[in-house]
Amino acid sequence: MTSVPTPSRDTGLLLFAHGSRDAHWAEPFARLRDVVASRGVPAVLGYLERMSPDLAGAAAMLVAQGCRRIIVVPVFLGEGGHVRGDLPKLVAAAADAHPDIDFSLASAIGEHAAVIDAIADVCVAAARR
């Protein structure tokens, strides 16, 4: 039996989403954050626009929790202009504000085969009802 490594408490995930005027829109993202946190990884949400905290504020929250490494995970289905253009600039600004913290940027979640497979499963299940 293979053991699963315990996540380091000094690494936090900044789950980065677009934002919306509708507060209900953020509910699935809050559930995602809570599931990640329940698995022992510090996690916060940050938004590009219309919601708070923004990326800088979310990064500061993880730093305040003692995280020395922050991985920004774009909770976007694809890597469009925001992920390829805006997000790297925001991450660079956060890294400049916290020079002693190691920042990295993951690929958008929709770029991962496991996510595509999970979405496909839901779509096929809907077609079979």
Measured distance CA(113)–CA(115) in Å, rounded: 5
Q: Are 100 and 63 in contact (CB under 8 A)?
A: no
Average pLDDT, the chain: 94
Residue 115 one-letter amino acid: V
| Rg (the chain; Cα; Å) | 16
The enclosing domain of 106 has a CATH number of 3.40.50.1400
Catalytic member of 18, 24, 98, 112: 18
Q: Is residue 104 part of a domain?
A: yes
Q: Is residue 2 part of a domain?
A: no
Q: Is residue 5 part of a domain?
A: no
Q: Is residue 26 part of a domain?
A: yes
Query: 72-127: per-residue pLDDT in tens?
Result: 999 999 998 899 999 999 999 999 999 999 999 999 999 999 999 999 999 999 99
Number of separate domains in the chain: 1
Q: Is residue 6 part of a domain?
A: no
Query: 2-37: per-residue pLDDT in tens?
Result: 444 555 679 999 999 999 999 999 999 999 999 999
What sections of the chain are H helices per DSSP?
Answer: 27-38, 55-64, 81, 87-97, 113-127
Taking the complete model, does pTM exceed 0.85, yes or no?
yes
* List of E strands, 1-129: 11-17, 43-47, 69-74, 102-105
Q: Is there a catalytic annotation at residue 18?
A: yes
Domain span at residue 21 reads: 11-127
Q: Is residue 47 part of a domain?
A: yes
Q: Is residue 20 part of a domain?
A: yes
pLDDT value, residue 113: 96
pLDDT value, residue 9: 74
Which of 67, 74, 4 has its CA nearest to residue 41? 67
Q: Is residue 76 part of a domain?
A: yes
Q: Are 14 and 70 in contact (CB under 8 A)?
A: yes
